[in-house]
Amino acid sequence: MSRICLFPGTFDPITLGHIDIINRSLSLFDKMFIGIGKNANKQPMYSEEQRLEWIKTIYKDEPRVDALIYEGLTVDCCKSVNATYILRGIRYVSDFEYEKVIADMNRSLDHNIETIFLTCAPQFTSIASTLVRDVIRHGGDASSFVPEPVRQSIYGNKQ
């Protein structure tokens, strides 16, 4: 049986912290879907299509990684791709407390889906999409927080 995982999030934009979690977890799974969730409560800075394009570009040479856009329950997205694992990145203890509540809810909705928590590497602890968006929105340079395709898309050839 294949170990298929869904890594859900908004990825607005995808950051080096996300990349760290994805890359370090690849040895755990046969296939990983990065699920760009549509969240009615959030107004994204970048379109779902743009975020999907960034992820597909970053992982174009990694056949174990695919990306999709989904709406609704994460467990329903898992079922649609036959994922039995949900991957979540943890930066701080407060992240764990929040994520555990969601994991418990997902488990009660579908007891066949396990949530796996991976702590991010120390150098990426302070990188959050919310903060990266604030830097970009206010004209700052967020290049050191995002992968090259995102940097190129946002800033062009400027260094």
Span 24-83, pLDDT tens digits: 999 999 999 999 999 777 789 999 999 999 999 999 999 999 999 999 999 999 999 999
Query: Into how many domains does the chain fold?
Result: 1
User: Binding site residues, as ranges?
Assistant: 10-11, 18, 42, 74, 88-91, 99, 124-130
Classify burial at 112, counting beta carbons within 10 Å of its beta carbon; exposed 0-12, middle 13-18, buried 19 or more: exposed
For the question of residue 3 being annotated catalytic, the response is no
Domain CATH number, residue 137: 3.40.50.620
Which one of 91, 100, 107, 133 is the catalytic residue?
Answer: 91
pTM higher than 0.85 for the full model?
A: yes
pLDDT at 158: 61
**With contact defined as beta carbons under 8 Å apart, do 120 and 90 qualify?**
yes
Distance CA 69, CA 106 (A): 19
Range(s) of the domain holding residue 81: 4-156
pLDDT at 23: 96
Among residues 36, 10, 38, 33, the alpha carbon closest in space to that of 22 is found at 33
For the question of residue 91 being annotated catalytic, the response is yes
Question: 79-109 pLDDT, tens per residue?
Answer: 999 999 999 999 888 889 999 999 999 999 9
For the question of residue 129 being annotated catalytic, the response is yes
For the question of residue 151 being annotated catalytic, the response is no
Which one of 38, 42, 60, 137 is the catalytic residue?
Answer: 42
pLDDT at 103: 96
User: Binding site residues for substrate, as ranges?
Assistant: 10, 42, 74, 88
Distance CA 34, CA 69 (A): 8
